[in-house]
Structure 1
Amino acid sequence: MKWFEYGNDRAGTVEVAASVASIVVGVGILTLPRLVAQTTESSDGWISIAAAGAVAIFLGWVMARYCGLLHDQGFYAFNAKLVSAPVSACFTTLIALYFILYTAYEVRAIANISKQYLFERTPVEFIALAFLLVVAYAVAGSREGILRLNLIFLPPVIVIAAAVLVFSIGIFNIHDLRPFFVTDWKGLAAGTKNSIFSLIGFESILFYSTMMKYPKAAPRAVAIGLSIPVMFYLLLYLVCVGVFTQPALMEITYPAVELAKEAQIPGEFFERFESLFFAIWIMTIFNTASMSFDVCVHALDSMMPRTGRIKWVIGISPVIYLVCMYPKNPGEVGKLGDLISYSGLTVAILVPILLYLYALMRGARAAA
């Protein structure tokens, strides 16, 4: 019966696309407009975001094609046959460490933002611990459940995000977008780099593609999943420039949250709209942290399956907490984010693409 098809352990194209969109739309969306505004002039940042989106979709498509070779073997098992078990174990461990850092950054970022906007008197250590415990509880369950949560959480996030943009039209000044095309190529390149950093996370497809009913649909799922945050990033950036102006946007720490505070709801029947926006956004960051934690656990478990999933969750959770609390100030948190971004581009994106090219040279074929 069709109504029970979600009881199986296979994911469809829609689920994977929603998962890619959810893991990408995390903390980065809250700060991206400011980072782009700091490296570009006027409203030219949209060029950087569009270029970064095109690059990310292309890289995601290539990685998804590589996922078609993994079949049901998984990343470690396939590469153990391709480049030997020790080399495959080294790559898999590096990716697991990268996702540990990724999860730690998400936990620390949500703790910092929650303290600033919601829990002013609560120590950031307790906020991070509470959030991490909820994430660990989710990861201790089934992987299919984490994927399917995205189908529940992503629609409300899209609706609230769209509402923020629509309700900001009343204070939007189109003249603040002018002049056009005044940024040099160095500024656009820097903005593109920052935008690409906000789009990483789609590399999780390496460990979720083996759950798909139709592996050949992975490239389409990744392309659709990445298109959602790219379009939203573009609209959010342009609206932020039109509302705050580009010079002011450079000084706002979390432009997306501040935009929600400025949104004018007709009739003024709902105050503090940013609280609703932030509460909904926590769901997305929860999904991002849960999937990155899950990928880390699955990567390590694929190499040492006798350890058991629960033991990995219990063992990794303190490591994530210690890493997330290591930065002492926002500047150090930013440096951690840069480290994760560069690590993701090299370890989790460049290395799999090189492995894919090598596999093609060896004559490997994708799943049907």
Structure 2
Amino acid sequence: TPTWAIIMIFMWVGLYLIIGGINPIARLFEIILPLTVILFLVVTFMSIKIFEIDNLRPVLGEGITPVLKGVKTTALAFSGPEIMLLLIPFMNQPKKAVKALLVGVSIPLIFYVITVVMVIGALSVDGVVTRTWPTLDLIRSFEISGLIFERFESLLLVVWIMQIFATFTITYFAAALGLAQLTKKSIHPFMFGLLPILYIIAMIPKNMNDLFKQGDFVGNIALFLFGLLPLLLLIISRIKGGKYETIT
């Protein structure tokens, strides 16, 4: 199947979902989350038979500096909590937004920790750095005979695709809603207008290297827009608020 056909169908389904607004998006995510948790944990912990604790040692053997240097690299993986800034107006209980954000960030954080520990424990650090998709390679590295499925990478790919779709739909909706509010227009024209732009952006990478470069670019932009910029805006709002209170 041509790449363009897969991307177009993926985007059309996403457009169909977001046209209904935030409610169908939330309902879909409520279905995706338990499926993701169950399939991910089952598939991941099946690799325990090839897990070696010695592959994780020494922890912080080169100090904390390499860990801090890796923050920039992981910016793309941790982008997403900024969506909560958009979802707060839709909440029935906005005062619980902080709790919801902490829970929402903690879930993928736990997944990431489990993935890193299991992958490095099974494949070792040297084995991980030489692979493009080490998590898939981990799942491919073992078989369990006698079950309906003897190879489980297909189950992991199902989870992966669901998460990609979830990320695409909510960010697509956020972009359309943001433009609609900025221009004070209806959201639907922006939903349809963004579709060809997103398709062109998706088709820019021609190979795996281009894809990783695009991912690094998005991660760097996210680090600034959703890491540094909100902090700056918070400081400005505090300063202006303080002046206002003093004047009144």
| Counterpart among 237, 241, 245 of residue 363 in structure 1 | 241
Q: How does 1:50-61 map to 2 (within 5 A)?
A: none
Residue pairs, 1:129-148, within 5 angstroms: 129-148=8-27
Aligned counterpart, 2:124:
245
Q: Report what 1:322 is aligned to.
A: 200
Does the C-alpha gap of structure 1 residues 318 and 342 become closer, same or farther in structure 2, counting only changes over 3 Å? same
Offset of residue 239 of structure 1: 0.8
Cα offset for 1:194? 2.0
Equivalent residue for 2:28, pick from 138, 149, 153: 149
**Hey, what does 1:262 align to over in structure 2?**
141
Task: Pick one of 28, 42, 47 that aligns with 1:163.
Answer: 42
Question: How far, CA to CA, are the matches of 1:334 and 1:351 in structure 2?
Answer: 24
Aligned length: 243
1:343 aligns with 2:230: no
**Does the aligned pair in 2 maintain the 1:241–1:249 contact within 8 Å?**
yes
CA displacement 1:53-107 (0-9 Å, x = unmatched): xxxxxxxxxxxxxxxxxxxxxxxxxxxxxxxxxxxxxxxxxxxxxxxxxxxxxxx
Secondary structure in 1 matching 2:75: helix
CA contact (8 A) 1:297 1:312 kept: yes
Deviation at 1:258, TM superposition (A): 2.1
Q: Aligned partners of 1:301, 1:262: CA distance in 2, in Å? A: 48
Distance 2:157 2:199 in 1: 22
- Runs of 5+ in structure 1 lacking a partner? 1-121
Partner Cα separation in structure 2 for residue 282 and residue 356 of structure 1: 35
Distance in structure 1 (CA, Å) of the matches to 2:162 and 2:91: 24
SS in 1 for 2:234: helix
Q: Are 2:219 and 1:219 aligned?
A: no
- Higher RCO (CA 8 Å, separation ≥ 6 residues): 1
Once residues 151 and 4 of structure 2 are traced to their aligned partners in structure 1, the CA distance between those partners, rounded to angstroms, is: 26
CA drift at 1:348: 3.0
2: CA distance, partners of 1:266 / 1:159: 21
Q: TM-score, normalised by structure 1?
A: 0.62
1:104-156 residue CA offsets vs partner (Å, 9 max, x unmatched):
xxxxxxxxxxxxxxxxxx22222112211111111222212112321111111
TM-score by length of 2: 0.90
Q: 1 CA distance for matches of 2:121 and 2:146? A: 23
2:210 maps to a residue whose letter is E
Residue in structure 2 matched with residue 281 of structure 1 by the alignment: 160
Q: 1:172 touches 1:242 (CA, 8 Å); kept in 2?
A: yes
Does residue 333 (structure 1) correspond to residue 178 (structure 2)? The answer is no
Partner of 1:189: 68
List per-residue Cα deviations over 1:306-341 (Å, max 9, x = no partner): 3x2221111110000001111222112111111111
1:185 to partner: Cα distance? 4.1
Shift of 1:165: 2.1
SS in 1 for 2:74: helix
Shift of 1:177: 1.8
Secondary structure of residue in 1 paired with 2:82: helix
Post-superposition shift, 1:264? Answer: 4.1
Which residue does the alignment assign to 2:187? Answer: 309
Deviates more, 1:262-271 or 1:173-182: 262-271
Structure 1 Cα separation of the partners of residues 75 and 220 of structure 2: 10
C-alpha distance in structure 2 between counterparts of 1:252 and 1:234, whole Å: 19
Cα gap change, 1:346 to 1:192, in 2 (>3 Å): closer
Amino acid at match of 1:208: L
Q: Aligned partners of 2:6, 2:167: CA distance in 1, in Å?
A: 17
The Cα shift of 1:218 comes to 1.0
For 2:86, the equivalent position in structure 1 comes to 207
In the alignment, structure 2 segments of 5+ residues that lack a partner are: none
Shift of residue 157 of structure 1?
0.3
Q: For 2:241, what is the secondary structure of its paired residue?
A: coil
Equivalent residue of 1:302, what SS? helix
